[in-house]
């Protein structure tokens, strides 16, 4: 591998991780959104308040956990990317 190919490969890997995280976040956030739509539909249909609160809590919990895991995944990718670039940058100053 040439010296210029290593930074390009690491950059592509990082961008791939970010895109993957974004797609996964979007899919789970969409599921939470659809659960919210279901709650509003059931509320208009006269469902029990306890069921509505339970589903609403599930919607918020799904979204909160999804957001937390996306942040952790992205931070892990950034740290991994920085660690992989350190030898490359040190090699530039030899």
The domain spans of the chain are 21-87
pTM, full prediction: 0.74
**Percent above pLDDT 90 for the chain:** 47
Model confidence over 50-91: pLDDT tens digits? 999 999 999 999 999 999 999 998 899 889 888 887 877 777
The two most distant CA atoms of the chain are separated, in Å, by 72
**Percent above pLDDT 70 for the chain:** 93
CA angle 29, 34, 37 (to 5 degrees): 130
DSSP H stretches of helix in the chain = 5-45, 49-92
């Amino acid at each position: 591998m040439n010296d210029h190919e290593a930074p390009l490969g690491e950059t592509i890997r990082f961008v791939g991780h970010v895109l993957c995280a974004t797609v996964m976040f979007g899919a789970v956030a969409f599921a939470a959104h659809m659960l919210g739509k279901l709650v509003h539909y059931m509320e208009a249909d006269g469902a029990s308040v306890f069921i509505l609160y339970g589903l609403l809590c599930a919607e918020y919990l799904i979204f909160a956990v999804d957001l937390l895991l996306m942040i952790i995944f992205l931070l892990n990718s950034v740290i991994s990317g920085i660690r992989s670039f350190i030898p490359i940058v040190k090699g530039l100053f030899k």
